[in-house]
Amino acid sequence: MGDSVAVLLDIDGTLVDTNYFHALAWYRAFRQEGHPVTVTDLHRRIGMGSDQMLDAVLPDRDRGRDDVLQAAHTEHYAAFFGLIRPLPGARDLLRHLRRSGAQVVLATSAPPEELRVLRRSLAAEDALTAVTSSADAENAKPEPDILAAALDAAGVGAEEAVMVGDSRWDVLAASKAGLACVGVLTGGISRAELDDAGAVAVYRDPADLLDHLDDSPVGRLLRRIP
Binding site for a second copy (CB under 8 A): 17, 19-21, 23-24, 27-28, 31, 36, 38-40, 43, 83, 85, 87-88, 185-193, 205
Closer of 20 and 81 to a second copy (Cβ) = 20
How far apart are CB 126 and a second copy at their closest, in Å? 22
Q: Which is nearer to a second copy, 35 or 65 (CB)?
A: 35
Cα–Cα distance for residue pair 204/212, rounded to 1 Å? 11
Q: What is the DSSP string of 167-207?
A: SHHHHHHHHHTT-EEEEEGGGS--HHHHHHHT-SEEESSHH
Q: Is residue 52 a contact partner of residue 87, using CB atoms and an 8 Å limit?
A: no
Residue 162: CB minimum distance to a second copy, A: 22
Q: DSSP readout, 2-50?
A: -S--EEEE--BTTTBS-HHHHHHHHHHHHHHTT----HHHHHTTBTB-H
Residue with smaller CB distance to a second copy, 23 or 222: 23
If the CB atoms of residues 144 and 187 are measured against a second copy, the closer one turns out to be 187
Q: How far is the CB of 76 from a second copy (least distance, A)?
A: 11
In whole angstroms, how close is the CB of 84 to a second copy at the nearest point? 11
